[in-house]
A and B are shown apart, each in its own frame.
Chain A
Amino acid sequence: MAVIRDMIPPFELYQPAEIDDALRLMDQYGDQGWVLAGGLDTFDWFKDRIKRPQAVIDLAAVEEIRGIAAGADGGLEIGAMTSLTDVADHADVQGRYPLLAEAAGLVATPQIRNQGTLGGNIVQDTRCWYYRSGWPCYRAGGNICYAATARSMNREHCIVGASRCVAVNPSDTAPALVALDAEMVVASSSGERTFPAADFFIGPDIDIERMTVLEPGDLLTRIALPAPWEGARWYFEKIRDRKSWDFSLVSVASMLRVEGGAIADARIVVNSIAPFPVRMTAVETAIRGREPNEETGQLAGEIAIEGARALRHNDYKIALTRNLVKRSIRDAA
């Protein structure tokens, strides 16, 4: 597992200005091509020489998928190449989708938010360090999970949704987008498809080498947000080892529609506890019709952790999930 950390090995570089050209290049190179957005996930792979694509397709010049505009039916459309800073600072996002503004503003550092894109934050690969260090695990095409053995260091790994692989989804914006019922618009040379955010992320039981539905040749181009619920309450909390500049250990995103003091509808999504953001539908059903108070939160927390199974070093995530789900209902504002 010698990992060489120095100059990036050579590759062919393309900087198309049109989506169609990008898609053509992606088809041409297939799994030998690598799509580059902000690059914050990409360059570690390249510098470690674990991923060595023949061609890199840099999307920096594709203006069509950068920026924020009004969407259909009072919604909002965000180009996948929009920087996280632009998402977090945008007046409409702050005003109408504060959950997303908060989540985007809590990603990493100012420099990374200035360069990292919303699309990249959504489709980023897992941070399991066995996998990212180049160990030939299931996710890398091998036949073992190094994070789930008796001696593994797995404090950051799964408590639900594992299937051979126990890596987690590290994205901060993904749970927010699932909670907001966002739709992911995916382009390929054969046309455009749309996925509800909740179906966009997939677990290792469906495909152990991917985190999302995207296959070679597919490009996430836009994120479409429907009109927000009237007078909705929201909550976002990201727990990490430090107060800033870290990936989440557990994060929660919630949306509550409260009518006459009772919860009429809810979205509760927890991330970094599974290989995909987990929408807690059982919780959503159970809290409908109840007041968003301590008692309901308690009930929700207990339901949220049903079936959760800790690895050797991550049982704290179970208590954390229970408490975060409780707070996300009790303290939503």
Chain B
Amino acid sequence: MLQPEVIQARRGGFTRRKFIKGVVAAGATASAAGYLFRGSGALSPFLTAQGAVERLVTLNVNGQQRRVEVPRQETLAMTLRYQLGLTGTKLGCDRAECGACTLLIDGVTHYGCSILTHTVRGREVTTIEGLERNGEMHPVQQAVLDEGGFQCAFCAPGFVMSMVGMLDRNPNPTREEAAELLAGNLCRCGDYDKILNTAMRAAELSGARA
């Protein structure tokens, strides 16, 4: 079940009208728990305790500053998909088990389903949408094309992000090392052999580029 404010995908900046609407919707959602109008810093002068967070935050996603209003309990994968329209990050298990939501935070892989959006304020978030540079694919993306690495490919964005993280740690892994470094991602099609071919090809391609 999505909350009303989450359903409105907001790709651009806020208009004043939309912003107020968002706040009211958020207040209404939270009222059952007694949080009416404690939702927004703009409307809530009494939320000044040490370290209490405002709901309107600026996120650094794929090199862009994105203003977005985020409920405190929202996870990063939810914010990216349903508020910023970055649906490349998949939600599989929502339990830090399957890896479909893997993304980079300050260049390091994390499960987007298992970190609060508020926790990544001020940090650099990179999703699969942020890998290409000036129309040129990332070596890992090129490797997926070269090797036809996935069957249904629901797990692909997570695997690709894990491979980017893997190559940063170990630019020249053996097949066994690659398997271990990609252990945090699951493929229900059982396509691991081709996925490892892809990982090895990605190492080759990124070595060639460097």
Contacts and interface: CB of A to CB of B under 8 A. Distances in A.
Nearest to B94: A47
Interface in B163-190: 165-166, 169, 180-181, 183-184
Nearest to A48: B95
* Residue of B35, B49, B96, B169 contacting most chain A CB atoms (<10 Å): B96
A56 B72 contact: yes
B51 interface: yes
B50 A109 contact: no
Contacts of A17: 51
B162 A111 contact: yes
Nearest to B122: A61
A16 interface: yes
Range, interface on chain B: 35 or more
B183 A40 contact: no
Contacts of B49: 14, 25
A231 interface: no
Given A10-B73, A15-B53, A115 B3 contact: no
Nearest to A244: B183
Contacts of B205: none
Interface residues of A, number: 40
A210 to B, nearest CB: 24
Interface string B1-44: 11100000000000000000000000001100101000000000
A244 B114 contact: no
A150 interface: no
B99 to A, nearest CB: 7
Contact of A39 (B108, B109, B114): B114
A12 B34 CA distance: 11
A115 B115 contact: yes
A112 B96 contact: yes
A25 B51 CA distance: 9
Contacts of A7: 1-3, 73, 78
* Residue of B53, B110, B169, B183 contacting most chain A CB atoms (<10 Å): B183
A43 B71 contact: no
Contacts of B115: 39, 115
A8 interface: yes
Contacts of B184: 108-112, 245
A56 B74 CA distance: 13
A245 B71 contact: no
B198 interface: no
B134 interface: no
B51 A109 contact: no
A8 B73 contact: yes
Contacts of B74: 8
Contacts of A6: 1
A21 B102 CA distance: 32
A13 interface: yes
A319 interface: no
Interface in B106-146: 108-111, 113-116, 118-119
Nearest to B6: A7
B82 to A, nearest CB: 11
Interface in A1-51: 5-18, 21-22, 24-25, 36, 39-40, 43-44, 46-47
A114 interface: yes
B52 interface: yes
B83 interface: no
Contact of B180 (A10, A11, A112, A244): A244
A111 B109 contact: yes
Contacts of A112: 96, 111, 184
B53 A109 contact: no
13 contacts: A7-B73, A8-B74, A10-B33, A10-B35, A12-B52, A39-B116, A39-B119, A47-B95, A58-B118, A61-B51, A85-B108, A109-B184, A245-B184
The 9 closest A-B pairs by CB, nearest first: A109-B184, A16-B51, A13-B72, A244-B183, A8-B73, A21-B50, A111-B184, A14-B51, A114-B108
Interface of A: 5-18, 21-22, 24-25, 36, 39-40, 43-44, 46-47, 56-58, 60-61, 85, 108-112, 114-115, 244-245
Given A10-B72, A110-B165, A112-B111, 17 more contacts: A8-B73, A10-B71, A11-B72, A13-B73, A15-B53, A17-B51, A39-B114, A39-B115, A40-B96, A44-B95, A47-B94, A47-B95, A109-B184, A110-B181, A111-B162, A115-B110, A244-B180
